[in-house]
A and B are shown apart, each in its own frame.
Chain A
């Protein structure tokens, strides 16, 4: 009888041969020495393979070792984070003090436009490296990042004059994010809606490139490096992209968070944008208004109603605006073809940065203010704010003492563990947001994450109270421990912290240190309090 091939023998050794064939092979082995040797050798080989593999690599030698390494990895990471934080805070002071040429302003991570740029670059990096990683969680994570960003934007907007539209935007986005789970979703490198295709629902598209040539009857929520809308969106367009180009029709509103937005097509309602560069080109038409925070803004087309802008660079208008133009930024240019149907109000740093061509038409009033940053110490409002802040902190401290006397005092004393608290605090400061995102996308879900976030914010606020109380007691060394003694200590401590906090350079670092110390003490005390008490 003919001998069996090596593959058949290998299959037999692995127990993968059909029963009848295996029997035939066994019969053959009884008579054939060559095949028997082959099977034995293969069996020995399998044995060596499993044995070698089951001797684990050194680092997996024991679960203890595994944990140990894991911990050291965490500490290493914490150290890196801490140094990044420290370096960041130092360099931010230094950076803010430098006079950076306007052309390089976009590159400065501590300016508004630099920040937007950084956020988009980060998001882009995140998206391109991680689209695949996040297939299932993409929508959730996308919305989380969106919410975080919206929070940041609200802060940015809150500082300027666009508080109301900003809040409106925030609320609309929050509302939008809620029903996100019953939508049509498409993921992939390259997500397209073909020219002859119609999507009846709201479409969530995430990909490197999202190109929409067809019709979306609901809203289009697009996440990607490049988002191109060449077809028709019957609802709203929400784009979160490095580059967004709208050359088709959007019959609702556009909400965009993009590094650049180009509107070449028709937009029936308003445009709300947060972008490094926002352009309404000559074929672009906005049926209502524009509310935007942008690095640079250029308008060549037409906006039927008002334009409200917060720019960190230039605003160029050569098209037409039906109503008011309100802008706050570095420079403003209106060319000969520019038309403003209402008032022009601009806030700039220097008057020479406003260029209004003679041919430009402005129907209403011109109100151009030069906004010089005065030192905050010269404004009475500053002292008023500080007094309110101080009173609030004292009140919170008093409430803490009243409601949780033991915990409050123990936490204050825990501040005294110094470096330990500081290190723990740095870790928590940086780690908790990450942990919150992880919690939000994994098992326990969003509500817990949000609650924890509230605790985190509260702890951030309380940190200075604990450190203040500790500092006060350290200096006063009161003999008693009555509520009065504690409050006096808190008063002195907070006063010192507040004053030190305003010292240039040092102040920022001190504030950061205080937050870390307080957070660390809080976390340490929380941990101790949650453990069972051994002795009464």
Chain B
């Protein structure tokens, strides 16, 4: 009973870190961070480093790259947090920043090749894709999660990145389109194709 009451009182007890920050609500931590309070920035780091790292890890497909990108995101956060205006939830905003960082990294890896900038008519892509038969969620939902994860990690970049931004970062199609610098239609098409490709790869071999 005691335990239950405690659970209700303390939303999410965290381990380690500075004591006085721990109890503070996210809003006041962000406010302090915006006033360049190093402790508050540290607290944000402690709370979100995992999620940011996770996104970078998936998007970049490399641990070292993800560590660098994560470091970069939090380093830049010292300045960029000033521009956070509370219009979207902070985690989503932060993941957007992280996504942006990763996209930059991916673009640099491609050395000037514009990964997502192919000008394709989103609607046409959707039409083309729709003619393929799809095994739907039935297949995917029975898979082991680790297998799903591994398969996502092996998807080509242009499928993987929008998929991750949508289902890990919870970004809207519009936001993803903005990050990638493409049309919203094209994002929809990429996500749709990504899922189809995922299903295809996850489908049991019919031999």
Contact = CB atoms under 8 A, between A and B. Distances in A.
Interface of A: 5-7, 10-11, 14-16, 38, 40-57, 59-60, 62-64, 66, 69-70, 73, 131-133, 188-189, 442-443
A63 B141 contact: no
B129 to A, nearest CB: 7
B63 interface: yes
A47 B143 CA distance: 12
B54 to A, nearest CB: 4
A55 B149 contact: yes
Given A11-B188, A57-B54, A59-B63, A52 B149 contact: yes
B148 interface: yes
Contacts of B146: 52, 55
Contacts of A40: 137
Contact of B67 (A51, A66, A442): A66
A60 B126 CA distance: 35
A53 B168 contact: yes
B192 A10 contact: yes
Interface stretch (B2-10, B19-27, B81-89, B159-167): B159-167
A66 B78 contact: no
Contact of A45 (B57, B111, B136, B149): B136
B57 A57 contact: yes
B136 A41 contact: yes
Q: Looking at chain B, what size class is its interface with the partner chain?
A: 35 or more
Contacts of B167: 46, 49-50, 53
B126 A7 contact: yes
B188 A53 contact: no
Interface string B52-96: 011001100001101100000001001000000000000000000
B50 A6 contact: no
B140 A45 contact: yes
A7 B192 contact: yes
B28 interface: no
B18 interface: no
Contacts of B166: 14
B98 to A, nearest CB: 13
24 contacts: A6-B130, A6-B134, A7-B130, A10-B188, A10-B191, A10-B195, A42-B137, A43-B137, A45-B141, A49-B152, A50-B168, A52-B148, A52-B149, A53-B54, A53-B152, A54-B168, A55-B145, A56-B54, A60-B57, A70-B67, A73-B67, A132-B107, A133-B108, A189-B111
Interface string B167-198: 11000110000000000000010011001000
Contact of B148 (A48, A133, A188): A48
A240 B133 CA distance: 57
B200 interface: no
A5 B126 CA distance: 10
Most chain A CB within 10 A, of B107, B164, B191, is at: B191
Contacts of B164: 53
A15 B126 CA distance: 17
A14 to B, nearest CB: 7
Contacts of A54: 54, 168
B137 A51 contact: no
Nearest to A38: B136
Given A57-B149, A70-B67, A442 B75 contact: yes
A48 B143 contact: yes
Contact of A16 (B134, B148, B172): B172
Given A11-B188, A50-B168, A63-B46, A56 B130 contact: no
B50 to A, nearest CB: 6
B53 to A, nearest CB: 5
Contacts of B11: none
Contacts of A15: 172
Contacts of A50: 167-168
A520 B75 CA distance: 27
Contacts of B57: 56-57, 59-60
Most chain B CB within 10 A, of A44, A49, A51, A442, is at: A49
B78 A443 contact: yes
B141 A44 contact: yes
Given A70-B67, A189-B112, A442-B75, A60 B137 contact: no
B1 interface: no
